[in-house]
């Protein structure tokens, strides 16, 4: 029992500190995800050891100190997503926001066949815009008739590789683009959305590749940071949304925020875990919405599951450019800009390699 606790403590401590290494290696980057779980498990190991065994020698005291440091290290990442922290995104003070819109994001899971359940959920929620990640042609055909009637504007790229994407909108879309920023077969969308007021905003939708067996994350980092840089420079206030295949507290997501200058509405409000909908004990916030300070938050909700391994989320924002200066936002320093530049270059090179491999 004692030996087992020591081994578990060593493993969880390793899990805590390994992600500090700046590397795109998949087996390290995947440890960005279970920060909260590792903190809980290591705390249980620590309490069990302290309860059943005496802590006498220097080596044991040092071991306990290292375990405590590992727990603190994990907690510092997820702490910002607890109600103890002051929210980063300010809520609107308007009783009746007159320039509001609701955006719904749903990774439908390509192999999921609950088409009707999803269709009913969308019709019930009645969002102004809907992003679907992972749709193939079967998914597109299952919703096409109803959604084309409900959403007169759209961008469509269903694919059979789990990276398809559909954007449905009640509002006019201008200058819409389907782009393959880093890897062939992994699209992202860009469009200018015209609100009913006539105001225009930029919308970027993304779904980069996750860390997985023998697949490192260079291309994910590059795609997110390319979008961050572009969103920072566009003419209109921007919203970036989709399944980022990254957690809200990771180094990459934080660097994305610094480079883009965007706000995360979950800070100070909660995790809003969207994956895995089928495994209650292991859930992470993978579906994200970031936006510029010209917007104020009306509501953010995780919606009911519909058969996918992701929960959908819905966010309602009000466009309030007159209050832009009242809302703080991240600002990148020179070191962060250089780091982003290097990561983009590394990711583009890796993306080029994968594109060549696919074409051979």
Max intra-chain CA distance, the chain? 73
Q: Kindly list the distances between the CA atom of residue 295 and the CA atoms of 28, 172, 198, 261, 317, in Å, as whole numbers in the listed order.
A: 35, 19, 15, 13, 6
User: Do 306 and 189 share a structural domain?
Assistant: yes
For the domain that residue 122 is a member of, what is the CATH number? 3.60.10.10
Does a structural domain hold residue 350?
Answer: no
Task: List % helix, strand, coil for the chain (3-state, nearest 5).
Answer: 40, 20, 35
Does a structural domain hold residue 148?
Answer: yes
User: Do 213 and 259 share a structural domain?
Assistant: yes
pLDDT in tens, 98-117: 999 999 999 999 999 999 99
Which pLDDT score is estimated for 203?
Answer: 98
Which residues make beta-bridge pairs with 302? 313
Does a structural domain hold residue 169?
Answer: yes
User: Do 118 and 73 share a structural domain?
Assistant: no
Does a structural domain hold residue 346?
Answer: no
User: Do 133 and 34 share a structural domain?
Assistant: no
pLDDT in tens, 40-65: 999 999 999 988 888 888 889 999 99
pLDDT in tens, 13-27: 999 999 999 999 999
Mean pLDDT of the chain: 95
Which pLDDT score is estimated for 275?
Answer: 97
pLDDT in tens, 298-320: 999 999 999 999 999 999 999 99
For 233, the domain range is 100-334
Does a structural domain hold residue 93?
Answer: no
User: Do 274 and 152 share a structural domain?
Assistant: yes
User: Do 104 and 7 share a structural domain?
Assistant: no
Which pLDDT score is estimated for 57?
Answer: 84
Q: Based on the structure, what is the number of domains in the chain?
A: 2
Average pLDDT over residues 178-200: 97
pLDDT in tens, 288-298: 999 999 999 99
Task: Tell me how crowded residue 263 is: count the other CB atoms within 10 A of its CB.
Answer: 24
Judged against a pLDDT cut of 80, whether residue 359 lies above it is answered with no
Residue 284, Cα to own-chain centre: how many angstroms?
9
Q: Kindly list the distances between the CA atom of residue 122 and the CA atoms of 93, 307, 314, 318, in Å, as whole numbers in the listed order.
A: 27, 14, 10, 21
């Amino acid at each position: 029992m004692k030996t087992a606790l020591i081994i578990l403590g060593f493993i969880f401590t390793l899990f805590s500190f390994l992600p500090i290494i700046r590397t795109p290696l998949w087996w390290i980057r995947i440890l960005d995800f279970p920060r909260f779980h590792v903190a809980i498990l290591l705390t249980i190991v620590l309490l069990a050891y302290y309860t059943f065994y005496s802590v006498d020698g220097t080596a044991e005291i040092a071991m306990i100190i290292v375990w405590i440091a590992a727990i603190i290290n994990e907690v510092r990442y997820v702490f910002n997503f607890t109600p103890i922290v002051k929210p980063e995104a300010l809520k609107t003070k308007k009783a009746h926001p007159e320039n509001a819109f609701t955006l719904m994001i749903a990774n439908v899971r390509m192999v999921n066949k609950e088409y009707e359940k999803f269709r009913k959920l969308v019709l019930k929620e009645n969002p102004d815009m809907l992003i679907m990640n992972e749709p193939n042609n079967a998914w597109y055909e299952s919703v096409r008739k109803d959604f084309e009637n409900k959403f007169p504007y759209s961008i469509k790229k269903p694919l059979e590789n789990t990276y398809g994407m559909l954007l449905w909108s009640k509002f006019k879309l201008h200058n819409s683009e389907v782009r393959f920023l880093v890897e062939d077969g992994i699209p992202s969308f860009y469009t200018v959305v015209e609100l009913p007021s006539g105001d225009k905003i930029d919308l970027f939708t993304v779904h980069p590749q996750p860390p997985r067996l023998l697949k490192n994350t260079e291309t994910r980092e590059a795609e997110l940071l390319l979008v961050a840089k572009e969103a920072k420079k566009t003419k209109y206030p921007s919203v970036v949304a989709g399944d980022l295949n990254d957690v809200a507290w990771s180094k990459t997501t934080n660097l994305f925020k610094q480079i883009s200058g965007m706000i995360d509405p979950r800070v100070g409000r909660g995790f809003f875990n969207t994956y895995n909908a089928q495994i209650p004990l292991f859930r992470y916030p993978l579906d994200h919405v970031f936006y510029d300070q010209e917007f104020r938050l009306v509501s953010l909700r995780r919606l009911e599951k519909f058969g996918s391994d992701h929960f959908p989320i819905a966010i309602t924002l009000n466009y309030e450019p007159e209050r832009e200066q009242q809302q703080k936002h991240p600002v990148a320093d020179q070191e962060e800009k250089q780091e982003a530049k290097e990561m983009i270059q590394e990711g583009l090179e890796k993306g080029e390699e994968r594109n060549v491999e696919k074409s051979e």
